[in-house]
Structure 1
Amino acid sequence: MTEGVKHIIAVASGKGGVGKSTVTANLALAMAAQGMRVGVLDADIYGPSQAQMFDVPSDQKPKSDDGQTFDPVTAKGVQLMSMAFLVDQKTPMIWRGPMASGAFQQLLNQSRWDNLDYLFIDMPPGTGDIQLTMAQKVEVSGAVIVTTPQDIALLDAKRGIEMFRQVKVPVLGVVENMSLHTCSQCGHSEPIFGEGGGERIAKEYQTELLGQLPLALSIREQMDKGHPSVEVDPEGPVAQVFAKIAQKIRSEMDNKEETSGPSISFSD
């Protein structure tokens, strides 16, 4: 088990652009609002975004007493670690897969996580080296799959679910983002990207549809400014969806502890 962490939850998607990082940030804040000690590891080495989403100043760096380990940056009550804290924002990570995987392991294991109940790992899109490294080297309590309703996103989400199943990581459920758009002018609601996709994929893989989130301009604007919806409007409908998802994850982890004991450990 990663030192200082009780449960590790991977937040993943089969493709980019479905709102995985937005879900991770809001879900972490929702879990923290329920009294849990929460951290976020931004494992998207090539395109880290959690620093901006948590409004961390670009010049803020993690402290290191020994030059080997780091204290996570704390923002909005959440412990954060990201490649964005270690390199200039404009510096591209022109690395091959093994280098990115090594960086992921360092970010995870060389961070001094302080007594976390939950560490959410914001995974890069796809099913590549970092995902495989995580499955082999990390005790993952479960995975949350983020998708949008359109068929191409669902196809990639299925690949993500299959990957976690093959490496024996429990899939806790599916979050369907951009489910319904409501016009700000006339109030008409329309499923622009299709409807029912998250429910279908959850049923197909005998897992749960954890929640559905709207396609809303406010969510994007808030994230761009570093103020997630759960922080801006904690009693609003979006925050309530995340609160329910957080509660479902907590219940699943509590049940897991009661019925099966320690998490499964993976190795080469």
Structure 2
Amino acid sequence: MTDLSAIADRLSSLTMGRTSGLRLREGMLTLVLDVTGLSNDVREAMEREVRHAVQDAPGVDDVRIAMTQEKTALRIIAVGSGKGGVGKSTLSANLAVALKRLGHRVGLVDADIYGPSQPRLMGSEGEKPEAQDKQMFPIQSRWGVPMLSMGHLVKPGQAIAWRGPMAGNALSQLVDARWDGIDTLIVDLPPGTGDVQLSMIQKHKPAGAVIVSTPQDLALIDAARAVSLFEQAGVPLIGLVENMAGYACPSCGEVSDPFGSGGAEKAAGEMGMPFLGRIPLAMGIRTASDAGEPPAAGDGAEAEAFRAIAEQVAAWLGKGR
């Protein structure tokens, strides 16, 4: 006769209390395994250990494991710029990868409906998401960051001629996808302060926002508009990032500042928000991004620049705001 209480105690010890609902009928042992917060690798390893622990128990011919997980509150971090061409998408991709490397369960949404670039930056061009019951499942990128983009749903280079409401609905489908096991979602907003941004902020209310700008005055004027948009919507500002902050000549090593220097840091102080750091104007970032290999996934000075910013974002998240 099978001692279910002994098996239950053994499994509880093995899985740190994650098993429940143990039943044995006609040789079929069934149980529930709570995998909340576990990565795919850890979840699969725990399932194998549970099966191995019970498969030879007297009276057990087969094992059926139902895995469940609690739905965690998804914190959305919006990355905005107020204008295009300042490296917002590059920062979004690398921020997500750097947070993943820091141990966070993070996903990435490319909300630039009209000009999606994350599939290229993350090396996932040509991949298509699956859907069930009208809800999409994110694509698993090579870098351990699940992601979705309008670029995964249309042909490369295809123009998306949608008015604001249609674009807003498309964005909602991306954000409302099955982000199982994810607690932080980086949303790469389109440039500007128009319908898509307003729809996203009003419906999904980001936990915080990161603003990206180059050091030059024109970019900072537009960045100030993005700051104003988030402030009016009551979205906390995590901080400002200065991108393209200096170019080191690969031949002579001399550093020049084609877009100026220090402007974003000064503007952050004037607007009363934290300055998160600088990203250099580096050939390595451009070539790696074009190849679908985020610099934050590697090592060196460029990866460290993204990591330093990610650490500040992680610290902000850790404060439970």
What's the TM-score, normalizing by structure 2?
0.76
Task: Report Cα offsets for 1:182-207 as digits up to 9, x if no partner.
Answer: 11111111111111111111101111
Instruction: Supply the AA of the counterpart residue of 1:141.
Output: A
1:107 aligns with 2:212: no
Contact residue 239 and residue 276 of structure 2 kept, 8 A: yes
1:250 aligns with 2:314: yes
Match of 2:6 in 1: none
Determine helix, strand or coil for the equivalent of 1:10.
strand
How far does residue 31 in structure 1 lie from its aligned partner after superposition? Answer: 0.2
Match of 1:198 in 2: 264
State how far apart, in whole Å, the 1-side matches of 2:88 and 2:293 are: 16
Number of paired residues? 250
State how far apart, in whole Å, the 2-side matches of 1:5 and 1:11 are: 19
Match of 2:224 in 1: 158
Instruction: Supply the AA of the counterpart residue of 1:55.
Output: G
State how far apart, in whole Å, the 1-side matches of 2:148 and 2:291 are: 19
State how far apart, in whole Å, the 2-side matches of 1:52 and 1:5 are: 29
Determine helix, strand or coil for the equivalent of 2:124.
coil
Instruction: Supply the AA of the counterpart residue of 1:23.
Output: L
Instruction: Supply the AA of the counterpart residue of 1:157.
Output: A
Unaligned stretches of 5+ residues in structure 2: 1-70
State how far apart, in whole Å, the 2-side matches of 1:214 and 1:24 are: 15
Determine helix, strand or coil for the equivalent of 1:120.
strand
1:89 aligns with 2:156: yes
Match of 2:86 in 1: 18
State how far apart, in whole Å, the 1-side matches of 2:240 and 2:125 are: 32
Match of 1:265 in 2: none
Which structure has the bigger radius of gyration? 2
- Percentage of pairs with the same residue: 46
What's the TM-score, normalizing by structure 1?
0.90
State how far apart, in whole Å, the 2-side matches of 1:134 and 1:18 are: 21
Contact residue 5 and residue 119 of structure 1 kept, 8 A: no
1:136 aligns with 2:202: yes
How far does residue 114 in structure 1 lie from its aligned partner after superposition? Answer: 1.3
State how far apart, in whole Å, the 2-side matches of 1:250 and 1:185 are: 36
Match of 1:40 in 2: 108
Relative to structure 1, the CA distance from residue 227 to residue 175 in structure 2 (aligned partners, 3 Å threshold; closer, same or farther) is same
Task: Report Cα offsets for 1:3-38 as digits up to 9, x if no partner.
Answer: 655321001101100000000011100000011111
Match of 2:241 in 1: 175
Task: Report Cα offsets for 1:41-68 as digits up to 9, x if no partner.
Answer: 000000101111111141x2111233x0
Unaligned stretches of 5+ residues in structure 1: 258-268
State how far apart, in whole Å, the 2-side matches of 1:85 and 1:112 are: 16
Instruction: Supply the AA of the counterpart residue of 2:144.
Output: G
Task: Report Cα offsets for 1:146-168 as digits up to 9, x if no partner.
Answer: 00011100110011101110111
Q: Does 1 or 2 have the higher relative contact order (CA < 8 Å, sep 6+)?
A: 1
How far does residue 108 in structure 1 lie from its aligned partner after superposition? Answer: 1.1
Determine helix, strand or coil for the equivalent of 2:172.
helix
Instruction: Supply the AA of the counterpart residue of 2:169.
Output: G
Q: 1:218 aligns with which of 267, 278, 284?
A: 284
Determine helix, strand or coil for the equivalent of 2:183.
strand
Task: Report Cα offsets for 1:89-130 as digits up to 9, x if no partner.
Answer: 232100111111111112111x10012121000000000011
Relative to structure 1, the CA distance from residue 90 to residue 193 in structure 2 (aligned partners, 3 Å threshold; closer, same or farther) is closer
Contact residue 136 and residue 173 of structure 2 kept, 8 A: no
Contact residue 4 and residue 113 of structure 1 kept, 8 A: no
Contact residue 213 and residue 238 of structure 1 kept, 8 A: yes
State how far apart, in whole Å, the 1-side matches of 2:72 and 2:149 are: 17
State how far apart, in whole Å, the 1-side matches of 2:243 and 2:174 are: 28
State how far apart, in whole Å, the 2-side matches of 1:251 and 1:163 are: 24
Contact residue 77 and residue 206 of structure 2 kept, 8 A: yes
State how far apart, in whole Å, the 2-side matches of 1:28 and 1:241 are: 14
